């Protein structure tokens, strides 16, 4: 099975990493549109343009299904997208999990667009939900500004620890890379829910050809270092410029 994964930058690599851990003998095609990142403050029209371009690219590459590993797109315009192959939102498995659990006091950490959307409010209507926009996380991650990122994590976790909260939702796949750091600064009883982990749990794959290819719309040294940190040494040999 050939899977296309799309995100604004390196965030969706959290899904790719999780899938390769569980299903190594599968073919993955990744497109990170980092020249337009972050998506969190883009207009609806811009998001539609980026998403439709990604669909056309994956269709040309003849993938079997497409996963939008972007919380922003999944919470805002996903319902308006169409493709010749099945397409999936990264958010659906997390919504299912949260509606089935006993914990009721949720805090969503997400991008500005996701926080402004009503997606989580509509799908978690019987739960207590607080939404916090963490607009700084994505650019700091992409630029590898670890010290500033640590300060931002501490700031948001301090706020969460002062609230009535039993579950934190990482509403952007970029935030998956911050999961352990976030847990360090939260009260130990607070559960942290990761979009990538939840998606792989409910979307198993039929293994076939093994390998992955990475396409990004902008390539620089920071990207290369991020890819090697996430996917391992020599993974940049799989990297290509999307144009």
Cα separation, 186 vs 153, whole angstroms:
10
Cα 231 to Cα 63, 226, 238, 239, distances in angstroms: 21, 9, 11, 12
The number of angstroms, rounded, from the C-alpha of 201 to the middle of its chain's C-alpha atoms is 15
Q: Which of 70, 134, 157, 165 is catalytic?
A: 70
Residue 165 among the catalytic residues: no
Q: What gap in Å lies between CA 85 and CA 205, rounded to an integer?
A: 15
From residue 197, alpha-carbon distances to 93, 120, 141, 204, 224 in Å are 9, 18, 19, 12, 24
Choice among 134, 157, 165, 172 that is catalytic: 172
CA R_g for the chain: 17
Q: Which residues are catalytic?
A: 70, 172
């Amino acid at each position: 099975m050939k899977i296309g994964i799309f995100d604004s930058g390196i965030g969706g690599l959290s899904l790719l990493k999780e899938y390769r851990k569980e299903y190594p003998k599968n073919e993955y095609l990744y497109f990170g549109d980092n020249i337009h990142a972050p998506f969190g403050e883009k207009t609806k029209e811009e998001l539609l343009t980026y998403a439709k371009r990604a669909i056309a690219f994956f269709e040309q590459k003849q993938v079997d299904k497409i996963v939008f590993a972007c919380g922003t797109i999944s919470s805002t315009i996903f319902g308006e997208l169409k493709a010749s192959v099945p397409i999936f939102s990264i958010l659906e498995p997390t919504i299912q999990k949260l509606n089935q659990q006993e914990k009721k006091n949720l805090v969503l950490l997400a991008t500005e667009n996701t926080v402004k959307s009503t997606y989580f409010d509509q799908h978690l209507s019987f739960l207590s939900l607080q939404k916090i926009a963490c607009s700084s996380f994505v650019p700091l991650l992409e630029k590898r500004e670890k010290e500033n990122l640590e300060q931002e994590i501490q700031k948001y976790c301090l706020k969460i620890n002062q609230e009535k909260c039993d579950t934190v939702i990482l509403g952007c796949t970029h935030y998956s890379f911050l999961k352990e750091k976030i847990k360090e600064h939260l009260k130990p009883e607070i559960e942290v829910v990761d979009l990538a982990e939840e998606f792989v749990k409910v979307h198993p794959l039929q293994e076939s050809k093994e390998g992955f290819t990475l396409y990004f719309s902008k390539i620089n040294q920071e990207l290369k270092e991020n890819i090697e940190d996430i996917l391992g040494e020599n993974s940049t040999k799989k990297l290509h410029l999307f144009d």
